[in-house]
Amino acid sequence: MNTKINEFINQIRIFKGLPEYQNFRIETSLREDLELESFDLAELTVKIEDEFGVDIYETGLISTYGEILNKLNKN
């Protein structure tokens, strides 16, 4: 699961001209560390929902990598 999420995030980063991110941690911030903007986060939510069938924003906005994993683990 983590590998797939990392792949989605890095696809978005590469499209933006950013290098691949390696050091994913629970506390990694989607906006500050991964530099994802609103359109990027929108894309990420759809890709995760397509892959895992879970809307990670269903119960409110999230801000860290760990929160994505938590949402998916709960489902």
Partner 1 sequence: MNFLNDDDRVYTYKDLTDSIASNSFYVEYFISNNLFDFFSNIIKALYTDSPIVLLDEKIDISLSSQIDSNKINKATIIQIDSKVSINEILEKVKKSKSKITIFTSGTTGRPKKISHDVRNLISNVRFNNLNNNVTWGLAYNKSHIAALQVFLQAFCNLSYIINLFQKPKNIILDKMLSKDITHISATPTFYRMLFPCEYIYVHVQRISIGGEKPSEELFKKLSYIFPNAKINNIYASTETGTLFVSNNDIFTVPDIISHLIRFENNELLIHYSLLGDFNDFKLQNDFYRTGDLVEFLDLDCTKFKFVSRNSNQINVGGYKVNPEEVENILETINGVNNAYVYGIDNPVTGKLLCADLIISKGFNINEVEIKNSLKSLLSDYKIPRRIKFVNNFNFTKTGKLKR
Which of 11, 18, 66, 69 is the binder for partner 1 (CB under 8 A)? 11
Any contact of residue 35 with partner 1 (CB under 8 A)? yes
For 27-38, letters b (16+ CB in 10 Å) and e give ebebeeebebee
- Size of the residue set binding partner 1 (CB under 8 A): 22
**Closest CB to partner 1 among 1 and 14?**
14
Query: What is the H or E stretch that residue 7 is in?
Result: helix 2-15
Which of 4, 20, 37, 75 is the binder for partner 1 (CB under 8 A)? 37
Which of 7, 15, 27, 75 is the binder for partner 1 (CB under 8 A)? 15
Q: In angstroms, rounded to a whole number, what is the distance separating the alpha carbons of residues 68 and 19?
A: 21
